[in-house]
Chains A and B, each alone.
Chain A
Amino acid sequence: MLGYVATRSVYALAVVFGVSIAVFFLIRIGGDPSALFLAPEASLEEIVRFRHQMGFDRPILLQYVDFLSRAVRGDFGLSLRYDQPAMQLVLERMPATLALSAAALGISLLISVPLAILAASYRGSLIDRIGLLISLVGQSFPTFWLAIMLILIFSERLHWLPPSGGGSWQNLIMPALALAAYSTAIITRLLRSSMIEVLQSDYIRTARGKGVSNAGIVLKHALRNAAIPTLTVVGLQVGALLGGAVITEEIFAYPGIGRLAIQAIDNRDFTVVQAFVFLTAVLIVGINLTVDLCYGLLDPRLRKR
């Protein structure tokens, strides 16, 4: 098990290293980054001074080493707009986004897991059809459309929930629902089909042959096995939730990192964009690592590697 953890962690570090390269070269792809930072009417003298000040006149490898050594300490430079450390700005908005993603994930799991179990156990029944309908709807309606519909119904029409802003649990409900729809659909469909497959396997027949009750068959023997392929998708969905938060936060004017990133792009505040991309990437790598480790817990066959 320890070897498994070590291998996975090394892979994760390698990915983070790759991300650092991508983030660094992101703003250098289009040539000299000074053009991005300075106003178009800046004089040659100003450009030269800025290039020297930012170190853009040094060899590129040296610049990267410098960037990396500061990045590992969390230093991405100052935000050009707010004059504050870029990473600090992103981190300040992080809790709001984490709360949104966690709420969305919670909602999808609370709906999809019981729904998938019931649908698979009573295949072809009314509950199975409802499950299929929910996954069809959740998968085909775009998040922004759902978000707007939610605002129209619950804010404009019913006045139950605030249409925008952050800071209270009421502000969390609609963005979380809009964000959860897609993951709910995906997880329901996948868990349902894995459950159906597992329920037909030989070891389920063995369990029935032992006299295990239906509930025991489904919840103990089948669910744990069906959870293994589903876990991959749940992990990927957590990443997608973080990414999807960008649009959802913008629609609901929710003060998370996604909204900050969009504003930073508008303002050409590239240090903030770099900090945002890097942090999000590290988070997603961290989630994937957690998923990999959970595999080992769920599936004993993976432990001896």
Chain B
Amino acid sequence: MSQADLHEKFPQIWKRFTPKETLIRYLWYAGIVFMAVWSVSNLDIPWFYFLDAHVQAADLFTRMIPPYWPFFIDIIPPLVETLHIATLGTVFTIFLAFPVAILSARNTTFNKTTWFLGRLILVTSRSVNTVVWGLLFVAIFGPGPVAGIFSVAARSIGFVGKLIAEAIEEIDVGAVEAIEATGASKLQILLIGVLPQVMPVILGTIIYRWDINIRESTVLGFVGAGGIGIILYSSINLFAWHEVSVILVSIFGVVVLSEYLSIKARARIT
């Protein structure tokens, strides 16, 4: 075989993408750049604030230091209230999320209507922020921790329910088939065939959500839904920066602690 024939049969040039694919890729890049430029130009950002931003940041920092530590005694009750709001909201979620997940999973829902209902609950819950739920529940229950508990639960159902529903859709159908074959009722199939299989996901997601809820409950007070947020909001409004720093450090401590507990607890789930 001549050299030319060899090159004909085994070419020396190989390209991962066709010219058309390359063109499409560059069009995507151009599109992303366009979106970024358009967003910035449309937002009308007051650039002159950037000029002394570093000075302002340093100034704020010096006003926060040193923190006024005796204030810590005053924030212990609202801090504990924040923990209670997060925990009770999460407990509510445990009881509500699993039924909603059963409705939302294709393989366990009863019919198209129940599936749609389940998905509707999930989407509604997830599309509204916890603080916005807080505004609604403050209007219903009045200001205070009860509104906070409900807003935490309302937001968590969507998060936990969606993840459990996804887990239910991925379970081993064989085990469910076997339980069905024993003559078990629909509820028994869910209890013995489905629940044990998604238990790790339920526990893991609930603990993770509890940890997120603690962080979210710290700002619920901004809209009057109880917890440490109320104190934080008033300290900021009074320019009491030495108090603000105490609150921020305390929140940081609680969040780190809850995250540590959450990681430890989730690692034990098998």
Chains A and B come from one and the same complex:
no
